[in-house]
Amino acid sequence: MSAQSHGGYYLPAPSYWPVLGSSALLGLTIGGALFIHHVAGGGWILLLGFALLVWMLFGWFGQVIGESEKGLFNKQVDVGFRWSMSWFIFSEVMFFSAFFGALYYVRMLSVPDLAAGDNALLWPGYTGGWPTGGPGAKSAFESMSAWGIPAWNTLILLTSGVTVTWAHWGLKKGNRGQLIAGLFATVALGLTFLSLQAYEYHHAYTELGLTLGSGVYGSTFFMLTGFHGFHVTLGTIMLIVITGRSLAGHFKPESHFAFEAVSWYWHFVDVVWLGLFIFVYWL
């Protein structure tokens, strides 16, 4: 935790990207609310907000990558990126913990309480248990088994953690071939995971009768796996970006923070998945 500031800390010039980002968020939120309520034009505002966001992300990250390649970031800037990325991942952990907390709460407290004797008048005959659609469930569903696609997906994500580390070793040894091969393998594994996840959702909706509306089981199942899948999607996009950068000759064996940030993020989605596999699919 050394604090060294002898000048040369890169201070960026004024930038339009932040206000563009705020406009994008305004479009996404207003458009989203209108779209949900079927107000005409809502979808277009939503789309405009999304387009602005994509433009902002491309432009802003593009500019930062350019600055990095020009060597404007000294060691102190690099350390700052590391602190910030670590705390950002911590904030993501806390986001998931809200939904894990909801899962534990419904399994340990609300469902058993609803099935307890003092609710017999309100919900006669409800026995609780897990999975459950709740005492007012209108249609039956089957839960998702852990030992099919989810087990394969666990293997896929764990393997992708190995391949991204192998790519990192390649980068540090100056072996660009190993770096690029490792990244391609990781991206391929990420896409495979996402495809299997999409197939699983299709299977749930069409054959198991398991939907977002299937009581708390469906709610927690789809929210947890859905947000995880969304994070894997982001991670895969990030991996594709650093693969492209590696092909373009970016990153040096001694300085490649962007690569490390993406791999930290990738390990984070991996760890979240292990939690999902145990608590959502298995137990």
Partner 1 sequence: MEAHAMEHGHGAPKGITRWLTTTNHKDIGTMYLWFAGAMFLFAGLMAMGIRAELFQPGMQIMSPEFFNQLTTLHGLIMVFGAIMPAMAGFANWQIPLMIGAPDMAFPRMNNWSFWILPAAAILLVLSMFVPGGAVATGWTLYPPLYIQGGISYDLTIFAVHILGASSIMASLNIITTILNMRAPGMTMMKMPLFVWTWLITAFLLIAVMPVLAGAVTMLLTDRNFGTHFFDAAGGGDPVLFQHVFWFFGHPEVYILILPAFGLVSTVIPTFARKPLFGYSSMVYATASIAILSFLVWAHHMFTVGMPTAGQLYFMYATMLIAVPTGVKVFNWVATMWKGSLTFETPMLFAIGFVSMFTIGGFTGLVLAMAPIDIQMQDTYYVVAHFHYVLVSGALFAIYAGVYYWLPKWTGHMYNETLGKWHFWLSMISFNVLFFPQHFLGMAGMPRRIPDYALQFTEFNQISSIGGFMFGASQILMLIVIVQAIRGGKKAEAKVWEGAQGLEWTVASPPPYHTFETAPEVK
| Alpha carbon distance 203, 206 (integer Å) | 5
Q: Is the dihedral of CA 141, 145, 150, 152 positive or negative?
A: negative
Question: Which residues between 209 and 228 bind partner 1 (CB under 8 A)?
Answer: 211-213, 215-220, 222-223
Type of residue numbered 69: E
Minimal distance in Å, beta carbon 253 to partner 1? 21
| Alpha carbon distance 33, 131 (integer Å) | 32
Q: Verify binding: residue 106, partner 1, rule CB under 8 A.
A: yes
Residue in the structure block whose two tokens are 């947000």: 227
Q: Identify the residue among 48, 53, 65, 72 touching partner 1 (CB under 8 A).
A: 72
Nearer Cβ to partner 1, position 184 or 279? 279
Inter-CA distances, 244 with 124, 184, 248, 251, Å: 60, 10, 6, 11
Nearer Cβ to partner 1, position 160 or 220? 220
| DSSP helix/strand/coil, 35 | helix
Side-chain half-sphere of 96: how many Cα atoms within 13 Å? 25
Nearer Cβ to partner 1, position 137 or 188? 137
Nearer Cβ to partner 1, position 88 or 184? 88
Q: Verify binding: residue 117, partner 1, rule CB under 8 A.
A: no
**What is the number of other CB atoms lying within 10 angstroms of the CB of residue 9?**
12
| DSSP helix/strand/coil, 242 | helix
By CB under 8 A, how many residues form the interface with partner 1?
78
Nearer Cβ to partner 1, position 90 or 152? 90
Q: Verify binding: residue 30, partner 1, rule CB under 8 A.
A: yes
Q: Verify binding: residue 125, partner 1, rule CB under 8 A.
A: no
Q: Identify the residue among 58, 105, 199, 282 touching partner 1 (CB under 8 A).
A: 105
Question: Which residues between 127 and 166 bind partner 1 (CB under 8 A)?
Answer: 132-137
Q: Verify binding: residue 121, partner 1, rule CB under 8 A.
A: no
Inter-CA distances, 117 with 104, 122, 216, Å: 21, 10, 20
Nearer Cβ to partner 1, position 154 or 219? 219
Q: Verify binding: residue 181, partner 1, rule CB under 8 A.
A: no
Q: Verify binding: residue 174, partner 1, rule CB under 8 A.
A: no
Q: Verify binding: residue 6, partner 1, rule CB under 8 A.
A: yes
Any idea what DSSP says for residue 256? Answer: -
Determine the interface stretch with partner 1 among 147-155, 190-198, 205-213, 268-276 (rule: CB under 8 A).
205-213
Q: Verify binding: residue 283, partner 1, rule CB under 8 A.
A: no
Any idea what DSSP says for residue 250? Answer: -
Side-chain half-sphere of 255: how many Cα atoms within 13 Å? 14
Whether the Cβ atoms of residue 224 and residue 107 lie closer than 8 Å to each other: no
Question: Which residues between 51 and 70 bind partner 1 (CB under 8 A)?
Answer: 60
Q: Identify the residue among 45, 52, 111, 238 touching partner 1 (CB under 8 A).
A: 111
**What is the number of other CB atoms lying within 10 angstroms of the CB of residue 265?**
19
Q: Verify binding: residue 279, partner 1, rule CB under 8 A.
A: no
Q: Identify the residue among 50, 55, 61, 88 touching partner 1 (CB under 8 A).
A: 88
Whether the Cβ atoms of residue 231 and residue 92 lie closer than 8 Å to each other: yes
